[in-house]
């Protein structure tokens, strides 16, 4: 700490490096190993989304540094990171996200994202993988998972219809995300992946 203080007085450290050294906040251009982003240029990103994403990541890092981050299994943390990528991807496409991790007290499971695309309500299941194996990520949405999503969607629509007195058009989408280290995120949206029947 004394060396850091001397560095501050002599101007050796820049402000971002100083923040990293003293309170654990990395500089803006810092990328931890394996952290990838959707492939597009910085000029394509809306300014507000860049600020929001940066703020969320900074708050997550601060919570981890302070020991206040919830203890989660690595596969759940990885899935959560995929859901964050899916959230920002849908926002970029013009969706309005109205719910994340929707759960019902009467049913098991959850719906990862519920979003509006124009006048269509979309129930979105996100599947995240660290590498592209022999089986694609979207194939993990099996018959049992589809039935769980259908039941939760029926309940959500029932609650919404009770409040608004109408039922919107809706569909089920699947987002496949591959977060491979040292590569940009590979995100694919499958609209109308399956039906209510």
The domain made up of 75-194 has a fold known as Trna Endonuclease; Chain: A, domain 1 (3.40.1350)
Residue 69, pLDDT score: 63
Which sign does the torsion angle of CA 134, 137, 139, 143 carry?
positive
Q: Which residues pair with 186 in a beta bridge?
A: 178
Q: What is the mean pLDDT of residues 153-157?
A: 92
Rounded-to-integer distance, Cα 138 and Cα 54, Å: 28
Higher pLDDT, 136 or 88: 88
Q: What is the DSSP letter of 185?
A: B
Provide the pLDDT confidence category of residue 166 given band limits of 50, 70 and 90.
Answer: confident
pLDDT, tens digit, for every residue of 168-190? Answer: 899 999 999 988 777 778 899 99
Buried-state track 78-103, b at ≥16 Cβ within 10 A, e below 16: ebbbbbbbbbbbbbeeebebeebebe
**Token pair of 25, please?**
């906040």
Contact at 8 Å (CB) between 158 and 113? no
Q: Which residues pair with 111 in a beta bridge?
A: 102
Higher pLDDT, 92 or 168: 92
Q: What is the mean pLDDT of residues 89-116?
A: 92
pLDDT, tens digit, for every residue of 28-82? Answer: 444 444 343 444 444 455 667 778 777 877 887 787 777 766 666 766 666 788 8
Q: Closest by alpha carbon to 178, among 125, 127, 112, 129?
A: 129
Residue 37, pLDDT score: 42
Q: Edge-to-edge, what's the strand order for the sheet holding 96-102?
A: 96-102, 111-117, 120-129, 169-178, 186-194
Q: What is the mean pLDDT of residues 8-37?
A: 43
**Token pair of 110, please?**
């959850």
Residue 135, pLDDT score: 76
Q: What is the DSSP letter of 84?
A: H
């Amino acid at each position: 700490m004394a060396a850091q203080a001397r560095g501050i007085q002599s101007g050796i450290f820049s402000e971002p490096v100083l923040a990293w050294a003293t309170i654990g906040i990395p500089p803006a251009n810092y990328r931890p190993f394996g952290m990838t982003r959707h492939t597009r240029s910085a000029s394509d990103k809306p300014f507000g989304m860049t600020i929001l994403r940066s703020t969320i990541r900074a708050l997550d890092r601060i919570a981890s540094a302070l020991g206040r981050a919830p203890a989660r299994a690595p596969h759940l943390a990885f899935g959560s990171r995929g859901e964050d990528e899916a959230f920002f991807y849908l926002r970029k496409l013009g969706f309005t996200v109205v719910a994340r991790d929707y759960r019902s007290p009467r049913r098991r499971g959850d719906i990862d994202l519920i979003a509006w695309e124009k006048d269509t309500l979309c129930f979105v299941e996100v599947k995240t993988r660290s590498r592209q194996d022999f089986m694609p990520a979207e194939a993990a949405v099996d018959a049992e998972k589809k039935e769980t999503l259908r039941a939760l969607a029926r309940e959500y629509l029932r609650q919404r219809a009770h409040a608004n007195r109408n039922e919107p058009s809706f569909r089920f989408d699947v987002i496949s995300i591959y977060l491979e280290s040292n590569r940009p995120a590979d995100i694919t949206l499958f609209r109308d992946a399956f039906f209510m029947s």
